[in-house]
């Protein structure tokens, strides 16, 4: 599946699940990722629990529930593959502003290690 096309044409809500080095789990609502290429996504992350978890444990999962009837969407299994702190690049990618600690945001790159439908086991 072409993730760039999918996220450009599909509305919905996303949840990023992370855990720290001890396995303590967190889940947070996140915007649609920035698709760098077919195997790489980027999320703008502020210095909060999800970001701190990623620094300790590079694995995460992103669940995307489409805004449709039923349970359609994706589960993407991710592994951190890079960090970028360039404020110009981050501001260029930013879709909205939330105030607060935006200047301390980091662009976190993830490699997509597995892709599955939201419900069921069949890979897309």
Q: What is the CATH number of the domain that holds 28?
A: 2.30.110.10
The answer to the question of residue 100 being in a domain is yes
The model's pTM: 0.89
Q: 108 lies in which domain range?
A: 3-117
The answer to the question of residue 96 being in a domain is yes
Q: On the CB side of 38, how many CA atoms lie within 13 Å of its CA?
A: 2
The answer to the question of residue 124 being in a domain is no
Mean pLDDT, rounded, for 68-94: 93
What pLDDT, on a 0 to 100 scale, did the predictor assign at position 92? 83
What pLDDT, on a 0 to 100 scale, did the predictor assign at position 89? 87
Output the six-digit token pair for 103.
Answer: 């200047």
The answer to the question of residue 68 being in a domain is yes
The answer to the question of residue 30 being in a domain is yes
> What are the φ and ψ backbone dihedral angles of 49, each rounded to 5 degrees?
-60, -45
Residue-wise pLDDT tens digits, 20-75? 999 999 999 999 999 999 999 999 999 999 999 999 999 999 999 999 999 999 99
Q: What is the DSSP letter of 39?
A: T
The answer to the question of residue 105 being in a domain is yes
Report the chain's mean pLDDT, rounded to a whole number. Answer: 92
The answer to the question of residue 106 being in a domain is yes
Q: Report the SS3 class of residue 56.
A: helix
Q: Report the SS3 class of residue 54.
A: helix
- Looking at the chain, the whole-number percentage of residues with pLDDT higher than 70 is 91
- Gap between the Cα atoms of 42 and 25, Å rounded: 21
Question: How many domains would you assign to the chain?
Answer: 1
- Cα torsion 58, 122, 32, 5: sign: positive
What pLDDT, on a 0 to 100 scale, did the predictor assign at position 113? 98
């Amino acid at each position: 599946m072409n993730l760039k096309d999918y996220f450009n044409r599909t509305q919905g809500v996303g949840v990023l699940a992370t855990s720290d080095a001890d396995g303590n789990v967190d889940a947070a609502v996140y915007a649609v990722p920035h698709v760098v290429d077919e195997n790489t996504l980027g999320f703008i992350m502020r210095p909060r629990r999800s970001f701190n978890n990623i620094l300790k444990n590079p694995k995460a999962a992103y669940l995307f529930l489409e805004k449709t009837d039923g349970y359609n969407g994706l589960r993407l299994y991710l592994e951190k593959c890079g960090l970028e702190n360039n404020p110009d690049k981050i501001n260029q990618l930013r879709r909205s502003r939330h105030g607060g600690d935006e200047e301390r945001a980091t662009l976190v790159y993830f490699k997509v290690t597995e892709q599955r439908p939201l419900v069921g086991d069949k890979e897309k």
